[in-house]
Amino acid sequence: MQPHPLDAQPDVRLVPLSPRVTVAYGPVGGERWQANASIVVGDRATAVIDAMMTPDQTAPVRSEAERLGGGRPVRWVVLTHADPDHVLGRITFDGAAVVGSARSAAVLRDHTVREAYTGIAARLGGDPATFAMPQVDVAFEEGGTVELGGLTLEGVSVGPGHSASDTVWWCPQERVAWSGDLVFHGVFPLVRTNLENWFAGLDRLAAWDPRAVVPGHGPMAGPGVLDDQRRLLEELATEVGDLLKAGATVEETVARVRMDAYRDLPMAGERLPVAVRGVALSLGYGEGA
Ligand SMILES: [Zn+2]
């Protein structure tokens, strides 16, 4: 049975999806479901998709990945994007190479980002030296492939959607898709500025016809979760667009937006105003957030 997003769970949970794919659910506390990671075990190599945030979180992922791979170390860390909650645990997989889009590589090279991530690592109680700022070792522009032996991971860079560098991944042999943070399942999404690419990413995921979708945050689900996320974003775009067109300012729109079907989702209190400002910006309205 799928855990409910609000069921507190301080530890990473390892949930097998198949003999070769295991999903590691991020810890859950308060309204927050921290980032997921996945273990994909091929005949010749093991990949971890996303690296969570702290070595505490990734330690059990590494142990399980090594166990499932018959003692073999993790060969690849595959990124859905470069937000800190998906990359800062990379150090745990110190022998692995990081694969990601050129956009993710650029984010992680950015001096301001590196400073910010070092600060986050320090606040999390990590010795900044041991967090060793993650970088992309193998970058691709549009699409990239990771061969694991009998299993393939195919990545498609969809550009700035939720983050500056969203990439969706697909394993055709297992028919499992990874959305990164283009899907928040059971929690309100963190929306910034580009819904067009976000929708394009959801289209890409749906076109693969997956039997399972692993979201960036929240429990894995069937492909219906893609439609659910799309409906929320469409509703948001419609409501925000209508209010702005009727003459409301961005902050009036923040105050008036209803999103009745979604405002009780976990994190909505914090993220709905952010989402409204992001959508307003993407529609060409003013100050943004
Ligand atoms: Zn995230």
162 near 101, Cβ under 8 Å? no
The verdict on residue 8 lying in a domain is: no
151 and 198 belong to one structural domain: yes
Show which of 202, 223, 244 is a domain's final residue. 223
The predicted structure's pLDDT at residue 1: 45
Ligand 1 mean position, distance from CA 181 (Å): 6
Give yes or no for residue 282 having a pLDDT over 90. Answer: no
CATH number, domain with residue 157:
3.60.15.10
The predicted structure's pLDDT at residue 3: 59
The verdict on residue 7 lying in a domain is: no
Give yes or no for residue 259 having a pLDDT over 50. Answer: yes
What the block records as the tokens of 232 is: 């929320």
Ligand 1 mean position, distance from CA 95 (Å): 24
**Distance (Å) of CA 50 to CA 37, 153, 230:** 5, 13, 23
217 and 242 belong to one structural domain: no
DSSP one-letter code for 73: P
Total domains in the fold of the chain: 2
| One-letter amino acid for residue 87 of the chain | V
Ligand 1 mean position, distance from CA 29 (Å): 15
Ligand 1 mean position, distance from CA 247 (Å): 33
What the block records as the tokens of 133 is: 């700022």
Give yes or no for residue 173 having a pLDDT over 80. Answer: yes
210 and 135 belong to one structural domain: yes
- Which of these ranges, 41-50, 63-72, 114-123, 223-232, has the smallest mean pLDDT? 114-123
Cα 250 to Cα 174: distance, rounded to the nearest angstrom: 44
Ligand 1 mean position, distance from CA 33 (Å): 9
The verdict on residue 272 lying in a domain is: yes
Cα 195 to its chain centre, rounded Å, is: 15
Cα 183 to Cα 244: distance, rounded to the nearest angstrom: 26
Ligand 1 mean position, distance from CA 85 (Å): 6
264 and 214 belong to one structural domain: no
Beta bridge partners of 96: none
Give yes or no for residue 2 having a pLDDT over 80. Answer: no
The predicted structure's pLDDT at residue 287: 57
Ligand 1 mean position, distance from CA 135 (Å): 17
75 and 170 belong to one structural domain: yes
Ligand 1 mean position, distance from CA 184 (Å): 9
Let me know how long the chain is.
Answer: 289
26 near 217, Cβ under 8 Å? yes
Nearest to 237 by CA among 187, 278, 188, 185: 278
Give yes or no for residue 208 having a pLDDT over 80. Answer: yes
Ligand 1 mean position, distance from CA 217 (Å): 6
pLDDT-derived band at 289, boundaries 50, 70, 90? very low
Give yes or no for residue 285 having a pLDDT over 80. Answer: yes
Mean residue pLDDT of the chain comes to 93
Domain encompassing residue 250: 235-282
The predicted structure's pLDDT at residue 118: 87
11 near 27, Cβ under 8 Å? yes
pTM value is: 0.95
Give yes or no for residue 67 having a pLDDT over 50. Answer: yes
Cα 274 to Cα 289: distance, rounded to the nearest angstrom: 7
Residue with tokens 């498609």: 156
More confident residue, 84 or 286: 84
pLDDT-derived band at 112, boundaries 50, 70, 90? very high
164 and 259 belong to one structural domain: no
242 and 166 belong to one structural domain: no
Answer positive or negative: Cα dihedral of 261, 181, 219, 8.
Answer: negative
Ligand 1 mean position, distance from CA 248 (Å): 31
166 and 248 belong to one structural domain: no
What the block records as the tokens of 71 is: 């003692």
Show which of 194, 223, 252 is a domain's final residue. 223
The verdict on residue 176 lying in a domain is: yes
pLDDT-derived band at 261, boundaries 50, 70, 90? very high
The predicted structure's pLDDT at residue 288: 42
Ligand 1 mean position, distance from CA 86 (Å): 6
All residues at 6 or more sequence positions from 186 whose CB lies less than 8 Å from its CB, including other chains = 4, 5, 33, 218, 219, 265, 266
